[in-house]
Amino acid sequence: MSFSHLQSLLNSFRCAVRGLLLCLKTQRNFRLELIIALWVTAGALALELSRVETAILLLCCALVLSAELLNTAVELAVDLCCQKPHPLAGAAKDAAAGGVLLAAFIAAVIGVLMFGCQGRPKALAALIFSSPARILPLAGAAVLSALFVFLPCSKQVRKHP
Protein backbone atom coordinates (compact mmCIF):
# COMPACT_ATOMS: atom_id res chain seq x y z
CA MET A 1 0.00 0.00 0.00
CA SER A 2 1.44 3.36 -0.99
CA PHE A 3 1.75 6.30 1.36
CA SER A 4 -1.03 8.21 -0.43
CA HIS A 5 -3.40 5.23 -0.07
CA LEU A 6 -2.57 4.95 3.62
CA GLN A 7 -3.06 8.70 4.07
CA SER A 8 -6.44 8.47 2.29
CA LEU A 9 -7.49 5.58 4.53
CA LEU A 10 -6.47 7.47 7.67
CA ASN A 11 -8.36 10.53 6.45
CA SER A 12 -11.48 8.39 6.01
CA PHE A 13 -11.20 7.19 9.60
CA ARG A 14 -10.65 10.78 10.77
CA CYS A 15 -13.86 11.88 9.02
CA ALA A 16 -15.80 8.98 10.52
CA VAL A 17 -14.59 9.79 14.04
CA ARG A 18 -15.48 13.43 13.46
CA GLY A 19 -19.01 12.31 12.54
CA LEU A 20 -19.30 10.21 15.69
CA LEU A 21 -18.09 13.10 17.84
CA LEU A 22 -20.52 15.47 16.13
CA CYS A 23 -23.42 13.19 17.05
CA LEU A 24 -22.14 12.85 20.62
CA LYS A 25 -22.03 16.63 20.97
CA THR A 26 -25.24 17.54 19.20
CA GLN A 27 -27.67 14.60 19.33
CA ARG A 28 -29.34 13.83 22.67
CA ASN A 29 -30.98 10.69 21.25
CA PHE A 30 -27.60 9.35 20.09
CA ARG A 31 -26.23 9.82 23.60
CA LEU A 32 -29.29 8.10 25.09
CA GLU A 33 -28.96 5.16 22.69
CA LEU A 34 -25.23 4.91 23.42
CA ILE A 35 -25.88 4.77 27.17
CA ILE A 36 -28.55 2.12 26.66
CA ALA A 37 -26.08 0.12 24.57
CA LEU A 38 -23.49 0.33 27.35
CA TRP A 39 -26.02 -0.79 29.99
CA VAL A 40 -27.22 -3.64 27.76
CA THR A 41 -23.62 -4.75 27.25
CA ALA A 42 -22.94 -4.58 31.00
CA GLY A 43 -26.09 -6.60 31.68
CA ALA A 44 -25.11 -9.23 29.12
CA LEU A 45 -21.66 -9.56 30.66
CA ALA A 46 -22.98 -9.60 34.23
CA LEU A 47 -25.45 -12.37 33.40
CA GLU A 48 -22.83 -14.22 31.37
CA LEU A 49 -25.09 -14.57 28.37
CA SER A 50 -23.86 -16.86 25.62
CA ARG A 51 -21.59 -15.48 22.93
CA VAL A 52 -24.39 -15.71 20.39
CA GLU A 53 -26.84 -13.85 22.63
CA THR A 54 -24.26 -11.17 23.40
CA ALA A 55 -23.41 -10.83 19.71
CA ILE A 56 -27.08 -10.42 18.82
CA LEU A 57 -27.50 -7.73 21.46
CA LEU A 58 -24.37 -5.90 20.26
CA LEU A 59 -25.60 -6.10 16.68
CA CYS A 60 -28.94 -4.60 17.73
CA CYS A 61 -27.15 -1.77 19.55
CA ALA A 62 -24.96 -1.10 16.50
CA LEU A 63 -28.03 -1.08 14.25
CA VAL A 64 -29.80 1.54 16.37
CA LEU A 65 -26.69 3.73 16.68
CA SER A 66 -26.01 3.47 12.94
CA ALA A 67 -29.62 4.37 12.16
CA GLU A 68 -29.31 7.44 14.40
CA LEU A 69 -26.10 8.49 12.63
CA LEU A 70 -27.83 8.15 9.24
CA ASN A 71 -30.86 10.05 10.55
CA THR A 72 -28.59 12.90 11.60
CA ALA A 73 -26.92 12.89 8.18
CA VAL A 74 -30.31 13.09 6.45
CA GLU A 75 -31.45 15.92 8.72
CA LEU A 76 -28.28 17.92 8.12
CA ALA A 77 -28.40 17.38 4.36
CA VAL A 78 -32.07 18.39 4.21
CA ASP A 79 -31.38 21.48 6.30
CA LEU A 80 -28.52 22.40 3.98
CA CYS A 81 -30.67 22.04 0.86
CA CYS A 82 -33.90 23.54 2.13
CA GLN A 83 -33.74 26.93 3.79
CA LYS A 84 -37.56 27.12 3.95
CA PRO A 85 -39.92 24.41 5.18
CA HIS A 86 -41.01 22.06 2.41
CA PRO A 87 -43.32 19.01 2.59
CA LEU A 88 -40.73 16.76 0.93
CA ALA A 89 -38.02 17.93 3.31
CA GLY A 90 -40.27 17.10 6.25
CA ALA A 91 -41.13 13.73 4.71
CA ALA A 92 -37.43 12.89 4.29
CA LYS A 93 -36.71 13.76 7.92
CA ASP A 94 -39.75 11.81 9.11
CA ALA A 95 -38.76 8.74 7.09
CA ALA A 96 -35.23 8.81 8.52
CA ALA A 97 -36.60 9.19 12.05
CA GLY A 98 -38.98 6.30 11.34
CA GLY A 99 -35.98 4.14 10.47
CA VAL A 100 -34.47 4.86 13.88
CA LEU A 101 -37.77 4.13 15.60
CA LEU A 102 -38.14 0.81 13.80
CA ALA A 103 -34.55 -0.24 14.62
CA ALA A 104 -35.01 0.77 18.27
CA PHE A 105 -38.33 -1.08 18.54
CA ILE A 106 -36.90 -4.30 17.11
CA ALA A 107 -33.81 -3.97 19.34
CA ALA A 108 -36.04 -3.50 22.39
CA VAL A 109 -38.10 -6.59 21.52
CA ILE A 110 -34.92 -8.65 21.13
CA GLY A 111 -33.60 -7.23 24.42
CA VAL A 112 -36.79 -8.23 26.22
CA LEU A 113 -36.55 -11.72 24.70
CA MET A 114 -32.91 -12.06 25.79
CA PHE A 115 -33.15 -10.55 29.27
CA GLY A 116 -36.70 -11.54 30.13
CA CYS A 117 -36.35 -15.31 29.93
CA GLN A 118 -35.01 -18.12 32.10
CA GLY A 119 -35.16 -16.21 35.39
CA ARG A 120 -32.70 -13.59 34.17
CA PRO A 121 -34.53 -10.60 35.71
CA LYS A 122 -34.33 -12.28 39.14
CA ALA A 123 -30.69 -13.20 38.56
CA LEU A 124 -29.81 -9.62 37.62
CA ALA A 125 -31.66 -8.21 40.64
CA ALA A 126 -29.96 -10.75 42.92
CA LEU A 127 -26.58 -9.83 41.47
CA ILE A 128 -27.17 -6.11 42.01
CA PHE A 129 -28.55 -6.39 45.54
CA SER A 130 -26.26 -9.19 46.74
CA SER A 131 -23.79 -6.68 48.09
CA PRO A 132 -24.22 -3.08 49.24
CA ALA A 133 -20.87 -2.39 47.60
CA ARG A 134 -22.51 -2.91 44.20
CA ILE A 135 -25.47 -0.59 44.71
CA LEU A 136 -23.50 2.64 45.20
CA PRO A 137 -21.37 2.33 42.03
CA LEU A 138 -24.46 1.37 40.01
CA ALA A 139 -26.38 4.35 41.37
CA GLY A 140 -23.43 6.58 40.53
CA ALA A 141 -23.26 5.14 37.04
CA ALA A 142 -26.99 5.74 36.60
CA VAL A 143 -26.63 9.38 37.66
CA LEU A 144 -23.66 9.90 35.36
CA SER A 145 -25.61 8.26 32.54
CA ALA A 146 -28.52 10.63 33.05
CA LEU A 147 -26.20 13.65 33.14
CA PHE A 148 -24.47 12.50 29.95
CA VAL A 149 -27.78 12.11 28.14
CA PHE A 150 -29.52 15.23 29.37
CA LEU A 151 -26.72 17.78 29.39
CA PRO A 152 -27.49 20.50 26.86
CA CYS A 153 -26.47 19.66 23.32
CA SER A 154 -24.16 21.82 21.30
CA LYS A 155 -26.02 22.88 18.17
CA GLN A 156 -22.98 24.14 16.33
CA VAL A 157 -21.92 22.17 13.29
CA ARG A 158 -18.48 22.91 11.91
CA LYS A 159 -18.20 23.67 8.26
CA HIS A 160 -16.43 20.92 6.39
CA PRO A 161 -12.83 21.91 5.55
- The residues that are catalytic are 68
b/e code 7-36 from CB counts within 10 Å (16+ = b) = eeeeeeeeeeeeeeebbeebbebbbbbbbb
Residues with Cβ < 8 Å from 148, sequence gap 6 or more?
A: 31, 35
Q: Which of 112, 114, 126, 134 is nearest to 49 (CA)?
A: 114
* C-alpha–C-alpha distance, residues 149 and 74, integer Å: 22
